[in-house]
Amino acid sequence: MATLLILGSKPDPVLPPLGAIDAVACANGSGFSAACHGLPTPGFTVMSAILAVTASGQQTLEALRGLETDTLYFLPRPARGGGVRKRVARAVQDLRARPLALKARLRRAQYRYRRFVVRKPLENRLLLDHFCGHDAEVMARTRAKHPSTGVMTLLIGMSSGDYDHFVLSGFSFELTHAYGDNPEIDQRGTLASRHADTDIAVLRAVVARCGRLYTTEPRVHEAAGVPLLPVTAGAVSADIPYSRA
């Protein structure tokens, strides 16, 4: 059995023992935490297009300076409705959030990858609907607000067929970063992520439909019902379904 650690960007992630995981997947800037904690080079990293256009994104890319991943998945911005002015403004911003724009910023940060894959919006939609069991309420929620990059990283890992178990670490449903004060917190006046409610709904659906998902973070366990893996002094209990427990 192979276990994939999906690492988010929150400060002080609760990590399983290195020997208990087989590979690491990162979301946006969590490669910083992976490097700080001596984890293996991420097998894949998922990045949102928004990293190319925001101050928070610039902070994230700077934190990744000199790091690497094997495969980099690019998530385009999901389509949205709205009035004419809103759609025009969004179209202008989308021009700055193209794959080439992110590649250029990554090159300036000396961030390396072996493969760059652009995920298509329809591909992401079908992935979401599948792992949510086509639950109408959850699907409606994901259409109103797309899940976070961290949750999409989980679903991409689950769809690969390479792993049997999945562990979420470094998730908190907040805007906090391990590598600095996220400027979006001051801009919005809150720590809460806009994706939190959608993420919680999706994680609950995944646990109910698939199982095989665990977390080391009490907050994720409490909010989304993901089974908690106790980590004490660098060890896990013997009955935890880690691949090498």
- Per the structure, the complete domain to which residue 94 belongs is given by 3-236
Number of domains in the chain: 1
Whether pTM exceeds 0.75: yes
pLDDT of residue 106: 97
The Cα 206–Cα 216 span in angstroms is 17
Question: Using one digit for the tens of pLDDT, what is the confidence trace for 6-33?
Answer: 999 999 999 999 999 999 999 999 999 9
Dihedral over alpha carbons 235, 238, 242, 245 (to 10 degrees): 80
pLDDT tens track for 130-186:
999 999 999 999 999 999 999 999 999 999 999 999 999 999 999 899 998 888 888
What CATH number is associated with residue 105?
3.90.1480
Q: Is residue 154 part of a domain?
A: yes
State how far the Cα of 9 lies from the Cα of 3, in Å rounded to an integer. Answer: 19
Whether 202 is covered by a domain: the verdict is yes
Classify residue 145 by burial, with Cβ atoms within 10 Å: 0-12, 13-18, 19+: middle
